[in-house]
Amino acid sequence: MKSATQRIARFGLLTALALVLGLMDRAIPISALLGGAVPGVKLGLANTVLLYAVYLMDWKSCVLLMLTKVVLSGLIFGSLSAIWFSLAGGALSLAVMLLVRKKPARGMLCMGILAVAAEAALILTRKQLKGQVLTFAILIGVGAVICFTLWILMRRGVMCRVQGTSVTGAAAHNVGQVIAAWFVVRTPMLLNTYLPALVGVGILVGCLTGIVAERVMKIIKN
């Protein structure tokens, strides 16, 4: 009975924390800091809660937490369309994090290769990079460098595996949302330029949230 009560209490606390961090996400103007090049981008602070659950809870609790967070956030802060986009991103992100949880270094290597491929595709299709596309190319390139750097550090045992799981989950979240948006609006630009840019941003943000999540988990265990 005590164990069940503890699980329910922890689930409630994590849900409340995810909603509060989601509100903070909306208050921090990351898109404005990037000059408006990538509209709608957020820090993804609420994803640190789901990252915590991936390592310290069973997969059924993780799925329930993700669904609860998506529905409540959409009803409180957004709309039905926001629930659809968040559900697509959250489901893909959680699936990827659960897959790479045991071998995050392998996930980081795959992310690095995908980022390099996206960078090459963007450069080949846009020979003269200008304005917004140039910003996209820079974000993707920085993301690729981070992926390979984290992969090397994790292979040598210098970096904790939480960062690798966080980066892949953050990038997958953006991919899921863009694919869901594409099914709704059918705009090719979302897949040609906006998607690679969001993958680059997701890698940067995932690295930061991974560091935060790792510190929090260490404190909780101690």
| Residue 41: per-residue pLDDT | 67
pLDDT at 190: 64
Q: What is the pLDDT of residue 31?
A: 59
Q: Taking the CA atoms of the chain, what radius of gyration do you get in angstroms? A: 17
Residue 76 backbone dihedrals phi, psi, to 5 degrees = -85, -45
Give the span between the Cα atoms of 76 and 67, in whole angstroms: 14
Which residue from 84, 8, 20, 7 is spatially nearest to 48, judged by alpha carbons? 20
Q: Which residues of the chain have pLDDT under 50?
A: 1
Q: pTM for this one?
A: 0.78
Which pLDDT value is given to residue 175?
80
Q: Which residue has the tokens 């304005």?
A: 131
pLDDT, residue 182, reads 77
Closest-CA residue to 22 (of 61, 88, 85, 72): 72
Amino acid code (one letter) for 167: V
CB distance 119 to 144 below 8 Å: yes
Secondary structure of the chain: what % helix, strand, coil (to 5)? 85, 0, 15
Q: Using one digit for the tens of pLDDT, what is the confidence trace for 162-219?
A: 877 888 888 888 888 877 877 777 766 666 667 777 777 777 778 788 877 777 777 7
